[in-house]
């Protein structure tokens, strides 16, 4: 049986994983601002919480590999018990066999060269409320081949990955929240005049356990993913897009299921904001994908959200430093700043309610 493992069919997993923002149009989603009322009694169970605080360790890069289609990469696992919250990495409640950062590079790398391409670290910074906090910081320095306009080519990326075996079943209901900060030059990095140069990934999940067509055995590829992007329109404004498709590294032709855009809720830049995402998986009309930014709903899509083969979720990407915009061609990098991660088995503040206050 082909199993998950370092260096085994994993480069295309993330390289093609988040993909590009894609084209097409959709109706603008409605938004709703949650007021400042006191939080309600939780209606869900807290599964995991981490501020990346004392005793949480992000390992040095290890397990260097060369991708089957070129490029390379390595891994940095998160371990230790967060003294702030009492929860231990990896995320046991989700059956995770790896929780950490995957470094997916343009070229093969080793311990002496990887830092020139991508770095990830836990560091102390001024937090959302002002006082210092610990954040997970990912920085992609070389994302595409050298040239005048590599915008539109995603290539290198640094996802925070919670990986779980397909054999342990699905994740039917999950709510994820965290504080995040986009870099100050995000808007100028994205370019709507270049094909697929106008996207930056925010949040994503993918299924896995598809059958390898050459062996008939299960492998990592899946049949369904949902991604939330930051996009840049032809009017030069940033907006939100949520999209579902079957581009989860499975052996089949691409199918796009649905897409929603929200031009009403601002995309915060160079400031902390609260991101919340939730899904309920179902093949019926009760399926749901919901996300909010600073308490304002950016998508609330109802309907089927299972793939053709009903494969389980195996990869959860709370944040990913991954973009099709200008980065190394302008001397800038793709950055992710994240803290205050929470994972629940449902909406903690009431059905369909944001916990942002």
CA distance linking residue 355 with residue 344, whole number of Å: 12
Looking at the DSSP bridge assignments, the partners of residue 136 are: 122, 338
Q: Domain map of the chain by residue range?
A: 11-344
- For domain 11-344, is the CATH number 2.60.120.200? yes
Residue 17 CB coordination number (10 Å)? 26
The answer on pLDDT for 321 being more than 90 is yes
SS3 314: strand
Q: What is the pLDDT of residues 126-139, one digit of tens each?
A: 999 999 999 999 99
**Contact residues for 334 (Cβ-Cβ < 8 A; gap 6+):** 139, 140, 143, 157, 158, 183, 189, 200, 321, 322, 323, 325, 327
Pairing of strands 225-232, 238-245: antiparallel
pLDDT in tens, 217-239: 877 899 999 999 999 999 999 99
pLDDT at 4 over 60: no
**H or E segment and range at residue 154:** none
Cβ atoms 101, 75 nearer than 8 A: yes
Compute CA 262 distance to the chain's CA centroid, rounded to the nearest angstrom.
18
Q: How far is CA 279 from CA 81, 189, 302, 313, in A?
A: 27, 30, 10, 11
* pTM, two decimal places: 0.88
Decide if 198 contacts 190 (C-beta within 8 A).
Answer: yes
pLDDT at 30 over 90: no
């Amino acid at each position: 049986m082909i199993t998950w493992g370092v260096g085994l069919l994993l480069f295309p997993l993330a390289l093609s994983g988040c993909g590009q923002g894609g084209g097409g149009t959709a109706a603008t989603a409605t938004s709703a601002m949650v007021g400042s009322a006191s939080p309600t009694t939780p209606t869900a169970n807290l599964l995991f919480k981490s501020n990346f605080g004392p005793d949480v360790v992000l390992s040095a890069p290890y397990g260097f590999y060369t991708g089957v289609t070129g490029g390379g990469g390595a891994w940095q696992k998160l371990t230790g018990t967060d003294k702030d919250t009492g929860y231990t990495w990896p995320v046991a409640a989700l059956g995770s066999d790896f929780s950490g950062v995957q470094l997916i590079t343009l070229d093969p790398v080793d311990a002496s060269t990887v830092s020139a391409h991508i770095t990830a670290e836990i560091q102390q910074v001024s937090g959302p409320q002002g006082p210092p906090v610990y954040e997970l910081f990912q920085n992609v320095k070389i994302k595409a081949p050298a040239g005048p306009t590599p915008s539109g080519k995603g290539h290198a990326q640094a996802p925070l990955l919670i990986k779980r075996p397909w054999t342990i079943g699905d994740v039917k209901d999950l709510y994820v929240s965290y504080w995040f900060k986009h870099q100050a030059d995000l808007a100028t990095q994205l370019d709507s005049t270049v094909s697929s140069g106008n996207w930056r990934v925010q949040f994503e999940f993918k299924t896995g356990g598809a059958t390898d067509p050459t062996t008939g055995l299960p492998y990592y590829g899946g049949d369904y993913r949902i991604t939330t992007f930051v996009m840049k329109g032809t009017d030069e404004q940033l907006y939100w897009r949520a999209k579902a498709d079957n581009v989860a590294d499975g052996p089949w032709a691409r199918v796009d299921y649905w897409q929603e855009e929200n031009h009403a809720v601002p995309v915060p830049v160079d400031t902390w904001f609260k991101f919340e995402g939730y899904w309920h998986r179902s093949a019926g009309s009760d399926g749901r994908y919901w996300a909010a930014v600073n308490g304002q709903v950016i998508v609330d899509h109802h309907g089927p959200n299972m793939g053709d083969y009903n494969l389980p979720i195996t990869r959860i990407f709370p944040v990913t430093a991954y973009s099709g915009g200008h980065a190394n061609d302008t001397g800038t990098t793709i950055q992710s700043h994240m803290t205050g991660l929470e994972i629940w088995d449902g909406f903690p503040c009431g059905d369909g309610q944001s916990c942002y206050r």
